[in-house]
Structure 1
Amino acid sequence: MTAHFDLIVIGGGIMGCASAIRAAQHGMRVAMIERASIGGGASGVNAGTLSLQIKRVKLMPYALAGHRIWEEAGEQVGFAKTGGLTLAFTDVEAEQLRERMTAKREAGAPIHFLSQAEVREKAPNLCERVKLASWCAEDGYANSSLTGTYYRAALREAGVTIIEGADAPLLARAKGGFQARIADEEVHGTRILLACGAGLEPAMAMFGVHIPVRVRVNSVSVTERAPRLVDPVIGHVTGLLTLKQKGNGTVLIGGGWQGRIDERTGASEVDPETIIPNLQLAQFVLPALARLRVVRCWTGFEVNVADFYPLAGPLPGVEGAYVLGCVRGGYTIGPYIGRLMGDLIAGREPEMPLFDPARLLAAAVQ
């Protein structure tokens, strides 16, 4: 059996879904192929933090636009605007915080610096040793576990054909475009978009393009429910802590601490040697956490390339093929950069520039 489409999207995370929806809105016939379930990978297991304070300066315009998309989705994605604090506890950290947040403010993020007294007013249960804090009223979070439900409904509304449970499809060029073989079924597309996260490197290699992609295994922990301890999203200037208390009273703790990958199966798992210092830092910042039990820890993949900027544009040397991924802060930025990619594939001019993957091949030659 062979089905024909204008575009095949490989990967059902936020960025793949946003691209597919946008292309379909432009009149393209689109098929979405996902190895497991829509939003079931990194897009659905991250901590859901929507903080402008942890975005790179060059990516700030994309983060601001992505944040607005999440806010428009509202209750459908569990959006909450709580404001956010980033903390410094030493003179060195305070100088780092002032330098970094000033640059981000100049890039458009509504960030302000607070005195110790102002920090205590916004979050009285925090550690009293705060030297300096930055505040962004736009910061907050969404419920990443709702990602799949939200995007599946949006894909269907846009008329996108969804194919789930398609583990390791074989991708190849074909007459008039591309094909994806899944068991006994063939899906044919005039164009193809690779948006498959941790699977990007082998997917690109199927078309003879070799761009190294680093896979990180970020860990997240959640506590039992507790009375209200903190309202804002909390971060540390080092980036080694994100902390938020959800509406149900649980506290989510992350910060990019790494889990482990089973080299044999490719599965990820929690590493106690990194979970423990993450929890210790969280307890230092919010001492009341000492009274709570951690009920669950889990991991999710994050990917990046050598320069830590996105892969977003045509797949070099393969006409009609595109790649999208490796976006730091992809949960916030993903909905918007996916829209830009959908515009590009449909022949429209994106309203903001994308990030040509060919730059990495050029760098490798040099």
Structure 2
Amino acid sequence: MTPLDPSQRYDLAVIGGGIMGCAAALTAAQGGLKTVVIEKSELGSGASGVNAGTLSLQIKRVKLMPYAIKGHEIWEHAGDKVGFRRTGGLTLAFTEAEAERLTTYMAMKKEAGAPIEMKSPAEVADMEPGLNKGVVLASYCGEDGYANSSMTGVYYRKRLSDAGITAFENLAVEGIDRDGGFVLKTARGVIRAKRILISCGGWVKEVAAMVGVDLPVRVRINTVSVTERCAPVVSHVIGHATGLLTLKQKANGTVLIGGGWQGRGTPAEGRGEVVADSLLTNIRLAQFAVPALGSCRITRIWTGFEANVPDFYPLAGALDGVPDAFILACVRGGYTIGPYMGHLMGQLILGGQPEMPLFDPNRFAVPDATAASAS
């Protein structure tokens, strides 16, 4: 366990050791800032490590597509270190209404830069003979694939170490004071830094409140399932036109099933709880799309917290009224987009102009007058 030195003063303290916080720390350190990462559990143990690992451009919002394409490239560059695989992806429509929706949305995403094309039922059957024969239309993106999210922590732990960045794990920030910079209070002592980046996912609302900023952050409790090892049933990443299904079969034969179906709980309570009705609906949709899954047993189910704000766009930038405080959170599709968003945030913290625009967090922030004046 690395001891805390209260006399040590960092240029930047990153609160949250997920993909975005670690990526921002790396860019900041490359730019010369003495950087520390503080994680309440283990690196990559939150949403960054418990999501389904899907890297699909088809499920990203149009406005976020340029960021998703860049993030996808970063994961591809990481390759085997994160279990990256490009398989191509099919998004399925089973009714005319779904086909119309799929056509409209994918046209916009193609215009935004995603290499998407539409496939007829016959073409889909040739590509994936094990799919439900009721497919009316599908979209296809050859860049889609997946990585192994459970490798996130190991991957970034090594990268931080190689960059000379101190990372404190299993250490929660319990309060934040000012002394010309920031004093982060923990159970093992204080950590001092000139700047802070708040990037702690489902816990971002509570930490932002420590510097007197109220954010309308809500948390979703997404459920992911994995089957036992089984014979090959699909070779592509499979989605549904409603956005309520993602599945892929890994090299070891297991099938990961997701789609944003909700559990219950709060970050303060720890891990979320699986809701049986929600889980069953997700599994039934997966079995409808891939009938052979009906003979596969589910071996494990888990949940992860995904933070969002009312417009579902990121919070990414400097916090008004709190000099040298930055925030990076609430990124939908954060597994794909996160590495690049973290890089952009690092550029901003270094005082430069990010190569793509960020997302002003102050469109929602309501500074607390008492806390701001005290700081």
TM category (shorter chain) comes to: over 0.9
Name the counterpart of 2:116: 111
* Mapping 1:26-175, distance limit 5 Å: 26-172=31-177, 174-175=178-179
Q: CA RMSD in A?
A: 1.2
The structure-2 alpha-carbon separation of the partners of 1:184 and 1:283, relative to structure 1 and needing over 3 Å to count, comes to: closer
Aligned residue type for 1:122: M
**Does residue 21 in structure 1 map to residue 21 in structure 2?**
no
Match of 1:330 among 331, 334, 358: 334
Match of 1:317 among 316, 321, 329: 321
Per-residue deviation at 1:105? Answer: 0.1
CA distance, structure 2, for counterparts of residue 179 and residue 265 of structure 1:
26
Name the counterpart of 1:186: 190
Aligned residue type for 2:48: S
Q: Percent identity at matched positions?
A: 59
* Mapping 1:170-319, distance limit 5 Å: 170-172=175-177, 174-261=178-265, 265-319=269-323
The structure-2 alpha-carbon separation of the partners of 1:262 and 1:38, relative to structure 1 and needing over 3 Å to count, comes to: closer
> Which consecutive segments of 4 or more residues in structure 1 shift more than 3 A?
none
Aligned residues: 361
CA distance, structure 2, for counterparts of residue 324 and residue 301 of structure 1:
16
Contact 1:221 1:252 in 2 (8 A): yes
Structure 2, unaligned stretches of length 5 or more?
367-375
CA distance, structure 2, for counterparts of residue 207 and residue 41 of structure 1:
22
Structure 1, unaligned stretches of length 5 or more?
none
CA distance, structure 2, for counterparts of residue 262 and residue 70 of structure 1:
29
Aligned residue type for 2:41: A
Match of 1:356 among 356, 360, 370: 360
Q: SS of the residue aligned with 2:213?
A: coil
Contact 2:38 2:172 in 1 (8 A): no
Per-residue deviation at 1:179? Answer: 1.2
Per-residue deviation at 1:182? Answer: 1.4
Contact 1:243 1:282 in 2 (8 A): yes
Aligned residue type for 2:258: G
Q: SS of the residue aligned with 2:305?
A: strand
Contact 2:245 2:259 in 1 (8 A): yes
Moved more, 31-40 or 263-272: 263-272
Q: What is the TM-score of this pair, normalised by structure 2?
A: 0.94
The structure-2 alpha-carbon separation of the partners of 1:54 and 1:252, relative to structure 1 and needing over 3 Å to count, comes to: same
CA distance, structure 2, for counterparts of residue 250 and residue 116 of structure 1:
26
CA distance, structure 2, for counterparts of residue 338 and residue 308 of structure 1:
18
Contact 1:260 1:269 in 2 (8 A): yes
Q: What is the TM-score of this pair, normalised by structure 1?
A: 0.97
Contact 2:172 2:187 in 1 (8 A): no
1:93-132 residue CA offsets vs partner (Å, 9 max, x unmatched): 0000000000000000000000111101111000000000
Per-residue deviation at 1:186? Answer: 1.1
Contact 1:209 1:316 in 2 (8 A): no
Per-residue deviation at 1:266? Answer: 4.4
Q: SS of the residue aligned with 1:62?
A: helix
CA distance, structure 1, for counterparts of residue 239 and residue 173 of structure 2:
37
Aligned residue type for 2:105: R
Per-residue deviation at 1:339? Answer: 0.3
Per-residue deviation at 1:348? Answer: 1.6
1:259-309 residue CA offsets vs partner (Å, 9 max, x unmatched): 110698343111111000100000000000011111011000111001110
Name the counterpart of 2:11: 6
CA distance, structure 2, for counterparts of residue 38 and residue 72 of structure 1:
20
Contact 2:271 2:303 in 1 (8 A): no
CA distance, structure 2, for counterparts of residue 220 and residue 120 of structure 1:
27
Aligned residue type for 1:126: L
Per-residue deviation at 1:361? Answer: 4.0
Contact 2:216 2:364 in 1 (8 A): no
Contact 1:80 1:140 in 2 (8 A): yes
Per-residue deviation at 1:346? Answer: 0.8
